[in-house]
Structure 1
Amino acid sequence: MKRTSYKKYRTIHLPKVIVDNLLLKLHLGFADFDYNLEVFFSIINEVITKSSIYNKQNEKYLYQFIPLDSRFLKTKYGNSYSNYIRFLVNQGIIWNDNYYAGKTTYYYLHHIDYYIENTNKLNILYNINKEILHSPYCFQKGITITYLNTINNKKIDHQKNRIYNDWYQIKILIDLKNKSYLTSSYEKDSVFINNAPKHIKKMGSHFRKYFKLHHEEALRFIENQYRTNIAFTLTDNDSNRINQKYTSRLSSVLAIHNGKINKTLKFSKNKANNRIDTNLTFLASELRQFIVGYEDMVYLDLKNSQPVMLNIVLKEHYKDVNTALRLEIEDYCKHTTQGVWYERLQELYGKTRDECKDIWMCIAYSKNENYLQEKNIFKKCYPGINAIIEYYKKKNHADFSVKLTKIESSIFIDGICRELVNQGIIPFTVHDAVIVPKKDKEKTLEIMRAVLKKHLGVAPVISEE
């Protein structure tokens, strides 16, 4: 009997308006090279799915964007990558910022109306039958494009309230040629998990097996959130921000749904800062409620995490400093480990807690010569600590952030999580927080406090969700 080979597929989800615009331009013969359609889909998917990583801390951006280094693109798509990028940029599917020597180029998506308006213009100019374009597609061998079912498909009457919820589900047959870019990230993560230390290996296997979302409830939430937010927009820029927020959240939810089958679950170590990056670490905080089993879990978070990590750096200076700086460090340690650092900044600046969070970001993570007005207030109260922060940012302002993040990763991943796994508690992680079963809460708190006290000299405040 002839043996039947099992065919594997990769599913990608993309907004209909972008795909329609791309397919129309390919149909009109605008590409001047032999192309594989799935490469276009893969590059656009990179921008959509990974933009949430860069935009997670600040969702005020007008556009979705990511940096794409030419070396990365060449490794993933081969020497012909430049033809695909050139076409996508020249044809307005994506756009890029100005190129600076030695700097990675950032690639952006346009806002929703751009694609719709551009497609409509081409339809009119080339007398395209819209009925054909609006039917599901079946293209070159191994690629099937169908509509993605969404939860809320109510008709939206007002133009400005048009939701970005028409998406395509693109099913691509995996072969030897496209495997390198359709499944390479997942396979690379598999190699990392299999060769990682025992506790990380268990965490990776546990994540892939058990991390799931209540899919339909999550979709309903983000679509209702979109409709609520879009109703209060006053400008096009506001609408664009709401659209990109919706798109990022929808793509993150879709990546988790059937993520093991679709090769879209992420579990890897970030080489730059040693953090463990997963779909969970990229997920918006209000979507955590839809994790399957979350009602029986507890989220334990180190308050003021990055400010707390600075105490470990300051300890290196404590023994050899004058009395004034010792008092500064002791005051700083008290406020950060007690979880009231931003309240302390409120006293100094007379601003809201959220505003003081932004001010701390300016103090700690911006170039030394930037935001001088905000920094001068901090400098007057903590001149010695300010000098230490500036010292670590002298060559490259990003070095300080990386230093703190590496300390955090060492404590949480190699300290807290290692001990948790040794005690039979396998957590989900969100950098400076762990998610564990409620039955293991007290044991987890005990371990967290013990490990943190070992490094800090005092047990800091851990908040609970």
Structure 2
Amino acid sequence: MTKYTKYRSFLLPKEIVEVLFLTAHHIPLQDNKQSEIIVGLSIINDILSKSNQKHNSEDYPYHFNPMYSKYLQLKYGNYYNTYIEWLIIHNIIWKDFYYGGKSTYFYFQSNENYLSKINFLCKENEIPVESIGEIIDTYCLRDSIKISLISHAIKEINYIQKNRIFNKWYRIKVPITKTNKKFLTKDYEQDSTYINNAPKHIKKMGSHYRKGLKIQYEEAIEHSENRYLKELSEAKNSKEEVSAFKRYSSRISSINAIHNGSLNKTLRFKRNDTNKRLDTNLTNMASDLRPFIVGYENMSYLDLSNSQPVLFNILLQSYRKNASEALLNEIDNYFIITTSGKWYEWLQGLYGLNRNECKEIWMKIAYSKNHHNPEVKQIFKKGFPLIYGIIEEIKKEKHEDFAVELQKIESKIFIDEICKELVNHGIIPYTMHDGLLVPKEHKEKTLEIMQTILKEKLGVIPLIKVE
């Protein structure tokens, strides 16, 4: 009887993969218990696939991902540091310095740096660039890896030859073995355990999500390629070009994770331990990819307008007791503006900027360290000096605390109350933190449930957008 081999698939940028294989050929990792290639591919995939979850954490043009040593040890074993250091020493990835109880951040290099590294390694080993495939094939045979180079055609690419276009990817299939299973499928199996032990309504949502979520693959890829092309043509400098690639590769990674996600063990569905949000592939996917979800044309999307500013009202209620008249007036004024869905319009009037710029300003006010962006915050203080003082106090010890508190409130309302009530009515939604995707025939009932529960929490029905 022929034994069936299971595989874990990756879709990774061509330049990074070639640097990994060429480095293994040039200076292989000595006495490694796992293949340096397989561990390297897994770590590179972690950085690529998870970096878009941290896009508000750090203004950096390249992909990055924070990883604690405990996480790395659990995933890759006691030998993990040897693999990490090998990747760092040879400039496949790089890391910042551990500080203040924070996890270490691991980063990609720029694509230009990877190209330079490829040329250097080829020269050092007297390998013609066109022969890189032979090196890759050697290591793939060693580790029974299946690999193919793919490139989606970009229309009108000749019009922007002044830009270097990075749009080639390796599709890589790694055989799952007893020794590498722990890090190739660990996340998916942990999610399975969570779903099986979750409250009844979340268990139903998890099962529905894994069975039903599919994406129009080719159409989504073409959309991402065309958007990348447009952003490159509009880029004013190299930094904007690099950022365009980061957004593009995040989209490709998101699409690939959903495509055959159950078979490939890349669908994510788990409650976040810190902010209690339900993290899935959809919650971190770019919103412009949402229409490519299979069946989207028969779905409605409902979300709470100005969600985080609105939910801040729940926190502010605890400050009403013994508050001064001035603070009460501010809280009342803030309540009216946010619950009517006019928060960003109010910021536009204050700053004289467009809506997207004002969204970024709110992020700086609410989520950056107190001493960061002082000019922006001074302007905000003119409108809400006492409320800003409350925000500043909450962020005094850890600047993340304000965001986490709002996210906990959001999660409790949407996951523990709204979604539970929906499932009780036979409506199983896809969640995107403060938004819900449901079949169109359930749009009105979903809106009714959202309005009822939000009114209980806020005292009024806030603006809910329906698409």
TM bracket, shorter-chain basis: over 0.9
Deviations 1:37-79 (A, max 9, x none): 2111101111111111112x59973211111211111110011
C-alpha offsets along residues 203-248 of structure 1, whole Å, 9 cap, x if unaligned? 1111111111100000011111112222233422222112222111
Query: Could you tell me the TM-score, scaled by structure 1's length?
Result: 0.94
Q: Give the 3 Å change call, closer, same or farther, for CA 387–129 of structure 1 in structure 2.
A: closer
Matched, 1:21 2:19: yes
| Cα gap change, 1:146 to 1:424, in 2 (>3 Å) | same
Give the equivalent residue in structure 2 for 1:119. Answer: 118
Paired position in structure 2 for 1:50: 50
Q: Residues 68, 159 of structure 1: CA spacing in aligned structure 2 closer, same or farther, 3 A cutoff? A: farther
CA separation in 1, counterparts of 2:159 and 2:451? 54
| Contact map agreement 2:157 2:229 (CA 8 A) in 1 | no
How many residue pairs get aligned? The number is 462
How far apart are 1:149 and its partner, in Å?
Answer: 5.6
Q: Given the superposition, is the C-alpha separation of residues 264 and 61 from structure 1 closer, same or farther in structure 2, using an over 3 Å criterion?
A: same
TM-fit CA distance, 1:405 = 0.5
State the match for 1:350 in structure 2.
352
Match of 1:419 in 2: 421
Structure 1, 58-67 or 406-415: larger mean CA deviation? 58-67
Deviation at 1:101, TM superposition (A): 5.3
Corresponding residue to 1:31 among 29, 36, 52? 29
Structure 1 unaligned residues grouped into runs of 5+: none
Contact 1:215 1:253 in 2 (8 A): yes
1:373–1:119 CA distance, 2 compared to 1 (3 A)? closer
Letter of the structure 2 residue corresponding to residue 22 of structure 1: L
Task: Please show how residues 26-425 of structure 1 align to structure 2 within 5 Å.
Answer: 26-34=24-32, 35-36=34-35, 37-55=37-55, 57=56, 61-100=60-99, 102-134=101-133, 137=137, 138-148=140-150, 150-152=152-154, 160-425=162-427
CA contact (8 A) 2:272 2:278 kept: yes
Give the drift of 1:89: 0.8
- Alpha-carbon contact 1:161-1:227 (below 8 Å) kept: no
Q: Deviations over 1:294-332 (max 9, x none)?
A: 111111110010001111011122243232222211111
Deviation of the 1:340 alpha carbon: 0.2
Which amino acid in 2 is paired with 1:391? Answer: E
In structure 2, relative to structure 1, the CA distance for the partners of 1:293 and 1:173 (3 Å cut) is: same
Identity of aligned residues (%): 50
Q: Secondary structure at the match of 1:312?
A: helix
Provide closer, same or farther for how the CA distance between residues 185 and 144 of structure 1 changes in structure 2, counting only shifts above 3 A. Answer: same
> Is the CA contact 1:60–1:241 (under 8 Å) kept in the aligned structure 2?
no
- Residue 459 and residue 248 in structure 1: after superposition, are their counterparts in 2 closer, same or farther (change >3 A)? same
The secondary structure found in structure 2 opposite 1:161 is: coil
1:364 and 1:16 map into 2 onto residues whose CA distance is 38
- Structure 2 counterpart SS, 1:164: coil
Whole-Å separation in 2 of the counterparts to 1:392 and 1:102: 19
Q: Secondary structure at the match of 1:250?
A: helix
Q: 2: CA distance between counterparts of 1:154 and 1:178?
A: 43
Distance 2:311 2:87 in 1: 43
Specify every segment of 5 or more residues in structure 2 that has no aligned partner in the other structure, as ranges.
Answer: none
Q: Which moved more, 1:227-236 or 1:408-417?
A: 227-236
What is the TM-score normalised by the length of structure 2?
Answer: 0.94
What is the root-mean-square deviation in Å for CA atoms of aligned residues?
2.0
